[in-house]
Structure 1
Amino acid sequence: MVSKRLFQSVAEQIAELIDEGAYPPGTRLPGERELAEKLGVSRVTIREAEIALQAVGRLEIKTGSGVYVSERKPASLGALPQASAFEVTEARLMIEAESAALAAHNITDEAIDELETLVNQMSSDDEGVANAADERFHLTIAQASNNAAMVHTIQSLWQMREQIPEVKATYEAVCVHDAKSRTDEHRAIFDALRARDPGAARQAMREHFQRLLESMLEATERKALEEVQLRASQSRERFLAAAKFG
């Protein structure tokens, strides 16, 4: 059985505090440091929990302002679709490329500073820190697009990435092997946004996901080859055993 990740437990604790009235709708949550001390976890875990709660509509993260309890009742999202990692990534390529182009027109200096911090965190040896920074990076760009429908769509795609087991496993396998490529690609996206260049931002985001799709294909081919080799090895052992005692 896979144990529940720490940030999920923390997200549930924060949601309970909201439901109990400790943080009414529309109010600003305490800062990461204060919440981390209150709940006995790291600031990175608090950040991951807040992103998870934003994805389901409980919180709104406003760059440069803080994290607020949503005033709207979260919609019932229902069951996630039976989407593959390739389908999720294809959708992300199309949607997030345009999100980056929109963000290049609207992004604030505060969001640029936030993205720079997140890119630097992606090179961390701590996989949890790097992954949290990756997610926050993409959601910060979505928010900078100033398009609520696009933000919701990208949040839903992230939910599929994290909560559909096959998709999550594929992403984890690819990201572990291509950590440097991931950091370099996100830095290229950041550079284009800092330059306020919509075309370059769109292209950098597309190249990131195109490389991700190619890596997924390679990973799938490797897995298929390993399975064929395993079956061949098992067949060979059975044949040798049969020949020995035949």
Structure 2
Amino acid sequence: MSTKRLFQSVAEQIATLIDDGAYPPGTRLPGERELAEKLGVSRVTIREAEIALQAVGRLEIKTGSGVYVSENKPELAEALPGASAFEVTEARLLVESEAAALAAHNITDEGILRLGQLINQMRTGDEGAANEADQEFHLTIAEASNNLAMVHTIKTLWRMREELPEVKATYEAVCVHDADSRTEEHKAVYDALKERDPAGARAAMREHFHRLIEAMLDATERQALEELQQRSSASRERFAAASKIA
């Protein structure tokens, strides 16, 4: 792992410790030497990780005093726009297709092995396990792109998929009907990455999202038709009741 990638990984470990309550907001972090021993890295790497966390508002470095956990998480990191499922999926198509192409250049043998394991997990028939594997599959590819901006963007898009109620409901309505298609599409992405084929990985990922968008359109049409039928039935009932009174 490169020095750059190492301090980024350590920064994520420290952020996780903060989120898990090991270092509550406002408290002082252990010194560089103690953290270096705890995480098995050099003091220089700890220093670089702390600077990176200060840049995103997670830490405050006070000269002569120490490094402190910020009292509040940055509001920008928590806010999500009220995007539709189509907007989220369109953005995923654009970003994740290019992430897959980059990953084809950089992914390790261990990464390929993990993707294969996740595809097998999708085939178990357990919906919860399949959804978890789906998310990890996409995030593993994002990490393999070695582009932090893409990783951050893709993680945010997944937050939108899971935390925006209308987006989550749309995905659930679609994914429950397309488990087999989803698995085979992920297998196509996996095959291209295994061959280290950037163009193939990009095309396979784009095909996956194109099919997903089509499924969303079909689901939306079905929902609109059902709502129309319900309104029509209600109108017929009111008309029948009014006719009896008359």
Give the TM-score taking structure 1 as reference length.
0.73
Mapped pair 1:165 → 2:165: yes
**Cross-structure match for 1:154:** 154
User: Counterparts in 2 of 1:53-132, with a 5 A limit?
Assistant: 75-76=74-75, 77-132=77-132
Structure 1 unaligned blocks of 5 or more? 1-11, 29-55, 59-71
**Cross-structure match for 1:219:** 219
Distance 1:19 1:182, change over 3 A: same
Deviations 1:70-99 (A, max 9, x none): xx9764314210100000000000000000
CA distance in 2, matches of 1:208, 1:242: 51
**Cross-structure match for 1:174:** 174
Deviations 1:137-160 (A, max 9, x none): 000000000001110000010010
**Cross-structure match for 1:235:** 235
**Cross-structure match for 1:185:** 185
Deviation of 1:127 (Å) = 1.1
**Cross-structure match for 2:22:** 18
One-letter code aligned to 2:188: A
The secondary structure found in structure 2 opposite 1:177 is coil
Deviations 1:32-72 (A, max 9, x none): xxxxxxxxxxxxxxxxxxxxxxxx999xxxxxxxxxxxxx9
CA distance in 2, matches of 1:13, 1:243: 69
One-letter code aligned to 1:124: T
The secondary structure found in structure 2 opposite 1:236 is helix
One-letter code aligned to 1:134: D
- For the 8 Å contact 2:80–2:160, the answer to whether it is kept is yes
How many residues are matched? Answer: 195
CA distance in 2, matches of 1:57, 1:88: 26
**Cross-structure match for 1:210:** 210
Deviations 1:194-224 (A, max 9, x none): 0100000000000000000000000000000
Deviation of 1:19 (Å) = 2.9
- For the 8 Å contact 2:161–2:167, the answer to whether it is kept is yes
CA distance in 1, matches of 2:18, 2:212: 33
- For the 8 Å contact 2:17–2:23, the answer to whether it is kept is no
Mapped pair 1:196 → 2:187: no
Deviation of 1:128 (Å) = 1.1
**Cross-structure match for 2:141:** 141
Deviation of 1:16 (Å) = 3.3
CA distance in 1, matches of 2:93, 2:123: 22
Structure 2 unaligned blocks of 5 or more? 1-15, 40-55, 59-68
CA distance in 2, matches of 1:114, 1:160: 25
CA distance in 2, matches of 1:146, 1:18: 28
Deviations 1:215-242 (A, max 9, x none): 0000000000000000000000111111
Identity rate of aligned residues, in percent? 64
- For the 8 Å contact 2:85–2:161, the answer to whether it is kept is yes
CA distance in 2, matches of 1:16, 1:194: 35
CA distance in 1, matches of 2:176, 2:97: 23
Deviation of 1:126 (Å) = 1.5
Note the aligned Cα RMSD (angstroms): 2.7
Deviations 1:141-195 (A, max 9, x none): 0000000111000001001001000000000110001111000100000000001
Distance 1:124 1:13, change over 3 A: farther
Distance 1:124 1:210, change over 3 A: same
